[in-house]
Structure 1
Amino acid sequence: MPTPPALAPGRPLLVHGTVGEWAARAARRPGHPDDAERLEAFRDDRMRRRFRASRLLLRTTLGALCDRDPDRVRLARTALGRPYAPGLPELDFSLSHTGSLLAVAVLRGGRVGVDAEHEGRPMSVLEHRMCTPHERAGLDARGLRGAARDAELLRLWTLKEAYTKALGTGLRHPPRTFGLDAADPAGRPVPRDAAGTPLTGRLTTATHVLGGVLVSVVAVRPSREPVEFEPGSSR
Structure 2
Amino acid sequence: MIARTDADEGVHVVLGPISDVLDHLPIPAQAAAEARALSDWRAKEYTAARALLVHALSTLDIDGTRLGKTAHGKPLLPGRRDVGISLSHSADMVAVAVAPGRDVGVDVQEAWLPSPGMMRRCCEPGLVADLTEAPPPERARRFARIWAAQEACVKATGEGIAGHPWKIPVHPGDRTGSWRALRWLHLRDADSAAAVCCAYTERTNR
TM-score of the superposed pair, with normalisation by structure 2: 0.75
SS of residue in 2 equivalent to 1:219: strand
CA drift of 1:64 comes to 1.2
Aligned to 2:37: 41
Cα RMSD for the two superposed structures: 3.5
SS of residue in 2 equivalent to 1:41: coil
User: Are the equivalent residues in 2 in contact too, given 1:80–1:169 (CA < 8 A)?
Assistant: yes
**Matches of 2:115 and 2:35 in 1, distance apart?**
36
SS of residue in 2 equivalent to 1:50: helix
**Matches of 2:186 and 2:82 in 1, distance apart?**
22
Aligned to 1:59: 54
Matched, 1:218 2:199: yes
Q: State the percentage of identical aligned residues.
A: 26
Aligned to 1:12: 11
User: Are the equivalent residues in 1 in contact too, given 2:153–2:165 (CA < 8 A)?
Assistant: no
Point out the structure with max Rg over C-alpha. 1
User: Are the equivalent residues in 1 in contact too, given 2:87–2:96 (CA < 8 A)?
Assistant: yes
Aligned to 1:127: 119
1:17-76 C-alpha deviation (Å, 9 max, x unpaired): 2211222345xx5752x336632421x2232233222211101111211x24x5x64211
Q: 2:165 aligns with which of 175, 193, 197?
A: 175
The verdict on how the C-alpha distance between 1:180 and 1:143 changes in structure 2, with shifts beyond 3 A counting, is: closer
SS of residue in 1 equivalent to 2:71: coil
User: Are the equivalent residues in 2 in contact too, given 1:23–1:50 (CA < 8 A)?
Assistant: no
Aligned to 1:194: none
**Worse overlay, 122-131 or 159-168:** 122-131
TM-score of the superposed pair, with normalisation by structure 1: 0.67
Matched, 1:205 2:185: yes
User: Are the equivalent residues in 1 in contact too, given 2:141–2:195 (CA < 8 A)?
Assistant: no
**Matches of 2:7 and 2:139 in 1, distance apart?**
35
1:133-170 C-alpha deviation (Å, 9 max, x unpaired): xx333566x79831355433321111001111112121
Please tell me the residue identity of whatever aligns with 2:52.
L
**Matches of 1:8 and 1:17 in 2, distance apart?**
16
User: Are the equivalent residues in 1 in contact too, given 2:107–2:148 (CA < 8 A)?
Assistant: yes
**Matches of 1:153 and 1:176 in 2, distance apart?**
12
User: Are the equivalent residues in 2 in contact too, given 1:115–1:162 (CA < 8 A)?
Assistant: yes
**Matches of 2:27 and 2:9 in 1, distance apart?**
34
